[in-house]
Amino acid sequence: MSHVLCIGLGYSARPIAARLARRGYSVSATSRSEAGRVRIAAQGYRALAWNPADGVAELRAAAGDLIDSVTHLIVSAPPEAHGDPLLEQHTADLAL
């Protein structure tokens, strides 16, 4: 099964996630706040409370084995003052 992880589920990622869910994808998403996590869960998606500035190791700790099933990644969280922390830390890993 295809599984998309949305780093941030805001204006851009929300309609993409909904379309993919209708096509049978499993959808997981992160939020920097507990309120955002609750909103994600209310949409029927797996919700993870995670701030990109905390690093990917923290995401793996929050998500556990879920990360290993991810087949697609959408990075839609707003950048920090210095740029996108996820891409900054893992550009080489993503083979861009």
Residue 96 has pLDDT above 50, yes or no: no
Rounded Cα–Cα distance for residues 52 and 39 (Å): 18
In single-letter form, the type of residue at position 6 comes to C
Please, which residues have CB within 8 angstroms of residue 77's CB and are 6 or more apart in sequence? 7, 8, 10, 30, 32, 52, 84, 86
Instruction: Report percent pLDDT > 70 for the chain.
Output: 94
pLDDT in tens, 20-57: 999 999 999 999 899 999 999 999 999 998 877 777 77
Write down the pLDDT at residue 95. 57
pLDDT in tens, 10-22: 899 999 999 999 9
**Single pTM value for the model:** 0.84
Please, which residues have CB within 8 angstroms of residue 90's CB and are 6 or more apart in sequence? 56
Element (H, E) at 63: helix 56-63
